[in-house]
Structure 1
Amino acid sequence: MKQLKTIVLTIMTTVFLGVTNNMMAQSDTGTAMNLDTKQSAIVSIASLTANGDLEKLETALVDGLEAGLTINEIKEVMVHLYAYCGFPRSLRGLRTFIKVLDERKAKGIEDNMGAEASPIEDSQSKYNRGKANLEALVKTELDGPPADYAQFVPIIEVFLKEHLFADIFDRDILDYQQRELVTVSVLATIGDVEPMLRSHMNICLIQGITPAQLEELVDVVGKNVDQAKIESAKEVLNELLESKK
């Protein structure tokens, strides 16, 4: 009888451990599919800055700092997004950030400044550096004919390569994933730029952002924009994911 009880107890323990391990594995998988707290903060900060909602931005900036983003990382979010929604939104965002930092400093809170951008040691021309960065971003060589807009206005292609993809993307304060999260958040917020939104959502996938993380990004942005814009963003994402099947 004692031996039977021991066998039953062993079986129950094995089953319990198996179920527990399975639940933990599922939990780990679910966590990996979600944006982490820093990524989510980047999305909120980018969206609210692009939307000009400075009151909510103050809260998002505090949340970002508390999530572990450095001052320089948040400043770089503001620098990056001006390329997609303009200097006025970026500058207002930066002034809001100054206000938040001053208030926290007055309370005795010292936030982490973080690393500065590394010096550029590449001897290539800015245009070639930008082209190389873009190729690394999309993970393919870009040796085909110029896009229609580049043929129509060649200087815009120069500005894109030399300024956006060289001057900005060469700054290593944010990585490619983080920069694309900023870009997609801004594009979804301003709306009516579906081709560019699809393109940058695709770059997110190329850079290792998961479909579930993109879906969560759209949900986070959806708290800050009107329903029509968010429905459009969801449609773009769904069509993109369908094309990958």
Structure 2
Amino acid sequence: MTEHTQQATGNEQSRYDRGWDKLKTIDGQAGERVIASLQDIAPDLGRYVIEYAFGDIYSRPTLDSRQRQLVTLATLTTQGGCEAQLHVHVNASLNVGLTTAEIVEAIMHCSPYTGFPRVLNAMTVAKQVFQERGLLPLV
């Protein structure tokens, strides 16, 4: 935790706490590893991810966690070059209850909008995660 975080006001600290809880719920240990990997180079970036992305955005009430992960998968797939983040979020998608079939379908759905190379890259990441979690072969 950075000095700024330790000195945060009650509202900022509640954003941090709310974000940290949400990050652990959705991303689990993978999310914690991402934040830890920033401590020696950009600890404030880790705090921003916790407070803004998870404390503010992921904690909004209108979309549930499954819907948010579908949007996240589509966004990361269509951007391309986000394979490390896709790895975390394919795991997160499974953590919040998406099935392997739903994840595959969400990635495939991006093909007419972004093209085959990015969808194939994203599918490779999904396959890796499924293999790591013992979820292949899909039937």
Question: What TM-score comes out, normalization by structure 2 length?
Answer: 0.79
Q: Which runs of 5+ in 1 are unaligned?
A: 1-121
Amino acid at match of 1:138: D
* TM-score normalized by the length of structure 1: 0.46
Shift of residue 226 of structure 1?
Answer: 2.0
Match status 1:224 vs 2:113: yes
Equivalent residue for 2:65?
Answer: 176
Partner of 1:131: 20
SS in 1 for 2:40: helix
Count of residue correspondences: 123
Residue number among 82, 102, 112 corresponding to 1:213 in the alignment: 102
CA-to-aligned-CA distance 1:138-178 (integer Å, 9 cap, x gap):
356x8779522232011101111111111112211111111
Q: Which residue of structure 2 lines up, in the alignment, with residue 190 of structure 1? A: 79
Q: Structure 1 residues 154 and 207, CA, compared in 2 at 3 Å: closer, same or farther?
A: same
1:126–1:226 distance in 2 versus 1, CA, 3 Å:
same
How many Å separate the matches in 2 of 1:193 and 1:144? 17
Q: % of aligned pairs identical?
A: 28
Q: 1:229 Cα deviation (Å)?
A: 0.8
- The 1:145–1:206 alpha-carbon spacing in structure 2 relative to 1, beyond 3 Å, is closer
Q: Distance in 1 between matches of 2:44 and 2:83?
A: 23
Q: CA deviation at 1:125?
A: 2.0
Residue number among 159, 167, 170 corresponding to 2:48 in the alignment: 159
8 A contact 2:27–2:89 mirrored in 1: no
CA distance in 1, matches of 2:23, 2:87: 16
Root-mean-square deviation (CA), in Å? 2.3
Long gaps (5+) in structure 2: 1-10, 135-139
Distance 1:145 1:187, change over 3 A: closer
Q: Residue 92 of structure 2 aligns with which residue?
A: 203
Deviations 1:203-222 (A, max 9, x none): 00111100011111111011
Deviation at 1:193?
1.0
After superposition, give the CA deviation of every residue in 1:102-131 in whole Å (9 maximum; x if it has no partner): xxxxxxxxxxxxxxxxxxxx9962111110
Q: CA deviation at 1:184?
A: 0.8
Specify the alignment match of 2:8 in structure 1. Answer: none
- Name the CA shift for 1:146/1:178 in 2 (closer, same or farther; >3 Å): closer
Equivalent of residue 238 in structure 1, options 115, 127, 138: 127
- Does the CA-based 8 Å contact 2:27-2:88 persist in structure 1? no
